[in-house]
Structure 1
Amino acid sequence: MLLVVGALTDVLVAAQTRSDLDTRLQARAAVAAQLVEQGVRQGELVRQVESPTSSRS
């Protein structure tokens, strides 16, 4: 029984982690699109999108 609970926990944590990563990726893509529309140069765009605080939306 403990093995089943452990395996189920691993599956749920992995699914949540994938969901969190997908959400962050979508947010960064949206920021990048906004920056491109604003005419931000490539180097600055990369710097802003890679920044840990790149949630400008």
Structure 2
Amino acid sequence: VISQMARDFLAIPGAGVAVEWMFSSLRHVCADTCCSLKAETIKEWIRQGLLQIEWP
């Protein structure tokens, strides 16, 4: 019970996992353009409804 509580409260999520998952789910993004894609661009796509994210 205590070990389960420790895992629930002390777990640290990976910072880059969501970003990597997003790039994996966007299969049309080429490797060459992947480095130049800015966070603001992704935020704008989400805001305009062009990109819908369903987190795993």
Q: TM-score, normalised by structure 2?
A: 0.30
Based on CA coordinates, which of the two structures has the bigger radius of gyration?
1
